[in-house]
A and B are shown apart, each in its own frame.
Chain A
Amino acid sequence: MNIIVCIKQVPDAKDVRLDPKTNTMAREGVESIMNPFDRHAVEEGVRLKEKHGGTVTVISMGPPQAEAVLREAVSCGADEAVLVSDRAFAGADTWATTYTLGKAIEKLGQFDLILCGKQAIDGDTAQVGPGLAKRLNIPYVSYVRKITGFENGALQLHRLMDDGYDEVEIPLPGLLTVVKEINEPRVPSLKGKMKAKGLSIKSLNAEDIDADVESLGLPGSTTQVVKVFAPEFKGERAMLEGTVDEQVAQLINKLEPYL
């Protein structure tokens, strides 16, 4: 099974805070990590390869420092790594990203399966997986919790729904986005780390992927950010006084954003 796993380097979101007074994202001490959901996607790809043979290629669209997560994936069992990098990609929304990744994947040759993490913890949109499948005109299933079988050229799996799960079958080639519950990602192996260290990572720029410049980066995006701000920060502290009814009414008022 030839498997491609799309991964992303992201800031560790839980540490990212916007200081509402300066409207700045505190970046010191915020590590860059592999998007946690992508760790699960890589692990699932490696397990499928171990079971059915084949190769796992990890691909990432990002700046040069994104190489670090590609190497991390190799140290955990991926075989090849491809970086898709070009200044022209900057500012891309998910539309431009799926265009770019789609073009890059076309250059990689035949594949049976593409795996993505459910969402990236910086954007949180969960849009790239389905969008990419559409670009490549392959079927997809998102929120995959378990792969139960591989028969007749199709994968049998459980897809998480809000009220339980669906048992679903997808013919290959296809794309899956996976949730955390699918597996426990392995820790890098020593041999893996050494392989990752010495691995030559293929880097593709806009020209290499025959991309149409108009479709890349910020100019190629269909959405753009109008503004960024801190969530309602209540620096206040208040004891709510009065009768029970009054206290509750005040509380409901204060909790508006959460309701």
Chain B
Amino acid sequence: MLRIDIETCIGCGVCEEECTFGAIEVIDGVAVVNEKCTLCGSCVDSCEVEALSIEKKEKAIQADLDEWSGIMIYAEFRHAKVAPVSFELLGIGRQLADQQKVPLSAVLLGSGLGDAAKDLIAYGADKVFQVDDPSLECFTDEIYGNILEDLALEQKPEVILAGATAIGRSFIPSVATSLATGLTADCTQLAIREDDGVLLQTRPAFGGNIMATIECPHTRPQMATVRPRVMKAAECDPDRSGEIIDYQPQPERLQSRVKVLRNVLEEQDQVNITEGETIVAGGRGLDNEKGFELIKQLADAMGGAVGASRAAVDSEWIAYPHQVGQTGKTVNPKLYIACGISGAIQHVVGMQSSETIVAINRDSDAPIFDVATYGIVGDLFEVVPKLIEKIKERRG
């Protein structure tokens, strides 16, 4: 409940400005809250006369809170490979572990793990808990969840991170529920708060139109799934040493009510470009189908979808579902990179509400530069390959 002390309130309206949800307004000189209030507390912090408070019962802090120490990451392993997100988790995990001066451990589950644990150590894990068992050949929420839960209760890490992949987003919520603790999904930033060592978890909400920073102050472990391709992957140091522990779960923990019958691999065809966060689009400037390959490469490097102007589609360098514009699709991704696209209104109406627009074109008069956030006048056959190279370097 948001409490407003009407005696203290001076009706200055700072809270009204601060409120993201339009839940508080100054009416007749005093602040009034309505049902849109989500109890986020931003107004409380902003009130200069301390007239606002959120009635919070001092929540019982988990009894053994202080015993939880260490950063643990779930290293995803599927189809005989460690998934790339695992190295990103080791990257951010290392930062957090160093800040807290605690060890970084990884949990590796699968069948036929081979030397994967050694790789995890090379990428920064101090300890790897591995379980190599046929029952783990295929991912099941129950078995993977059981093992992670047991390890968590045994090792008591203060933080557990997993990738926000199909697997991570599926079983981690179940683990968090079993551990009666908080979970923040799809984080794009993680940091340790200086004064109390609590993990600050920042994530997009409302389809990414808003960012929220979340904490889990009273329970442990603090759990978060991390958006893939956002955090920087750890560096590989083959000479790093660490401990590999063959963890033995109790047999009943290797049971799953859900049965996996078959894995089917499918080509991910990003034809529904309207759902993408990043779109790399190409136009007439790509010259030919081979030139258009560059667009696909840049899109891959950015983890984005491929878009096209009508000219590219009419020239049959790419199929119609990729067409953006008046007679194609309307998109509004976070990032739209237009290469070799002049920016005629018929194209622009399909992408002008993208959050950030980058244009690369050799014609400085091209109308695309009127809507671009960042423009590069240049030869895209020089610029784009360099861009791809630099991005790949950054990604590690």
Contact = CB atoms under 8 A, between A and B. Distances in A.
Direct contact between the two chains A and B in their complex (CB within 8 A): yes
A231 B383 contact: no
B214 interface: yes
Interface string A219-234: 1011111111111001
A225 B211 CA distance: 11
B206 A16 contact: yes
A129 B174 CA distance: 9
B38 A219 contact: no
A143 interface: yes
Q: Which of A131, A140, A227, A250 is packed against the most chain B CB atoms within 10 Å?
A: A227
A213 to B, nearest CB: 9
Contact of A219 (B35, B57, B217, B262): B57
Nearest to A131: B177
Interface string A116-150: 00000111111111110111000111110000000
Contact of A239 (B266, B277, B369, B394): B369
Interface string A90-116: 110111001000000000000000000
Contacts, number: 275
A185 interface: no
B379 to A, nearest CB: 8
A164 B258 contact: no
B176 A131 contact: yes
A222 B216 contact: yes
Contacts of B213: 225-229
B376 A247 contact: yes
B212 A98 contact: no
A259 B372 CA distance: 18
B232 to A, nearest CB: 9
Given A141-B141, A164-B263, A245-B386, A238 B355 contact: no
Contact of B211 (A91, A94, A140, A231): A231
Interface string B243-283: 00000000000001111111111101000000001100000
Contacts of B302: 258-259
B20 A221 contact: no
B356 A234 contact: yes
B205 A130 contact: no
A25 B387 contact: no
Contact of B334 (A63, A226, A229, A258): A258
Nearest to B266: A164
Given A218-B54, A228-B42, A259-B394, A248 B387 contact: yes
B215 interface: yes
Contacts of A217: 39
Interface residues of B, number: 101
Given A23-B18, A258-B302, A93 B182 contact: yes
A237 B166 contact: no
A210 interface: no
A169 B209 contact: no
Interface in B343-395: 355-356, 358, 369, 372-379, 382-383, 386-387, 390-391, 394-395
A149 B144 CA distance: 25
Nearest to B163: A162
B2 to A, nearest CB: 9
Contact of A237 (B39, B373, B391): B373
Contacts of B216: 222-223
B142 interface: yes
A11 B205 CA distance: 12
Contacts of B186: 124-125
A98 B170 CA distance: 15
Interface in B11-61: 17-22, 35-42, 54, 56-57, 59
A238 B374 contact: yes
Contact of A234 (B79, B214, B373): B373
Interface string A188-219: 00000000000000000000000000100111
A234 B207 CA distance: 18
A228 to B, nearest CB: 5
Contacts of B238: none
B177 A252 contact: no
Nearest to B18: A23
A226 B200 contact: yes
A166 B185 contact: no
B210 A228 contact: yes
Contact of B260 (A140, A166, A229, A247): A166
A254 interface: yes
B118 interface: no
A13 B209 contact: yes
A140 B145 CA distance: 12
A255 B358 contact: yes
B36 A27 contact: yes
Contacts of B185: 124-127
A92 to B, nearest CB: 9
B141 A140 contact: yes
Contacts of A87: 1
Nearest to A125: B185
Interface string B155-176: 0000000000111011101101
A24 B243 CA distance: 49
Contact of B264 (A63, A93, A165): A165
Which 10 residue pairs of A and B lie closest in terms of their CB atoms, listed nearest first? Answer: A222-B182, A91-B39, A223-B182, A164-B266, A125-B185, A139-B257, A127-B173, A130-B173, A134-B177, A13-B207
Interface of B: 1, 17-22, 35-42, 54, 56-57, 59, 78-79, 138-139, 141-142, 165-167, 169-171, 173-174, 176-178, 180-186, 200, 203-219, 229-230, 256-266, 268, 277-278, 302, 332, 334-335, 355-356, 358, 369, 372-379, 382-383, 386-387, 390-391, 394-395
Given A223-B215, A228-B210, A237-B372, 16 more contacts: A14-B209, A14-B332, A91-B38, A130-B174, A131-B173, A143-B166, A143-B170, A170-B259, A222-B183, A224-B214, A226-B200, A231-B334, A238-B375, A248-B383, A255-B358, A259-B302
